[in-house]
Amino acid sequence: MTNSSLIDLASAALLLSGVFIASYNDLARQGSLLRLQGLALAAIAFLMAFEHNSLELWIVGLLVLVVRAIVLPGLVKSAAKRIPTEKDRSHSRVSNTTSLLISGASTIVAYLATIPLSHLDSSSTTKASSIGLALVLIGVQILITKRMAVGQIVGFLVLDNGIAAFGFLATLGVPLLLELGGSLDLLFAILIMGALTDRMIVKFGTTDVDELSELGDR
């Protein structure tokens, strides 16, 4: 297999894992899929580092592996264990089938939206960058359709993975400094959201964000 077909394979894994995360409601499974997504992202970075013989990309790949494939999915999985199960509640606003349909539509929209970019550079990686945008849209979909706090955090992570994927596939990765700052920010943001979720369990006994409806202008 050539290097570029391996990159295509990893990109496909990225998109598919995103679609499945959107349709599942089980946090532990979403955590595993997020790990897969992080691995695929790291694989893309490593493959590009190998192809272009760039030390910077190797370091970025390592960073992606640690943050997006190990630490963040681990946080989601540990949250899944801590959170009380609420059996009678559906965790999603839409059914599995609807979710798959929306993801399909998002992917088409993403392909259409990246047409103006592909005329700049017709190489396969730039074409694959529509996968990054599709993941961003699927992340938004998860953010909107999931009702549980951690489900929304997962959506946010998928969205961020999508942006990172766009960065790698379209531009050979963003500069190391930006990736470093971005990962650090992401890590802190997720830690803070996790801490807020823990407080939610204490104060409300649930992590259903629909319960957060006291504030507003009436």
Contact residue for other proteins among 5, 78, 121, 205 (CB under 8 A): 121
**Piece of the chain touching other proteins by CB under 8 A; list 32-40, 62-70, 104-112, 197-205:** 197-205
Looking at residue 103, its amino acid is S
Cα 29 from chain centroid?
A: 14
For the beta carbon of residue 148, count every other beta carbon within 10 angstroms: 23
**Piece of the chain touching other proteins by CB under 8 A; list 12-20, 62-70, 81-89, 117-125:** 117-125
CA distance 47 to 41: 10
* Phi/psi at 73 (5° precision): -60, -35
Are the CB atoms for 75 and 194 separated by under 8 Å?
yes
CA distance 191 to 202: 17
Burial class (CB in 10 A: 0-12, 13-18, 19+), 103: buried
Verify binding: residue 182, other proteins, rule CB under 8 A: yes
List the interface residues with other proteins, window 13-42 (CB under 8 A): none
Smallest gap from residue 97 Cβ to other proteins (A): 26
Our CA dihedral for 10, 12, 17, 22, rounded to 10 degrees, sits at: 150
Contact residue for other proteins among 59, 94, 117, 208 (CB under 8 A): 117
Verify binding: residue 178, other proteins, rule CB under 8 A: yes
Verify binding: residue 143, other proteins, rule CB under 8 A: yes
Q: What is the DSSP letter of 66?
A: I
Smallest gap from residue 1 Cβ to other proteins (A): 27
Verify binding: residue 119, other proteins, rule CB under 8 A: yes
Verify binding: residue 1, other proteins, rule CB under 8 A: no
Verify binding: residue 136, other proteins, rule CB under 8 A: yes
CA distance 199 to 21: 25
Query: In the complex, which residues of this chain contact other proteins (CB under 8 A)?
Result: 113, 116-117, 119-121, 129, 133, 136, 140, 143, 149, 152, 156, 159-160, 163, 166-167, 170-172, 174-175, 177-178, 181-182, 184-185, 188-189, 192-193, 195-196, 199-200, 203-204, 209, 212-217
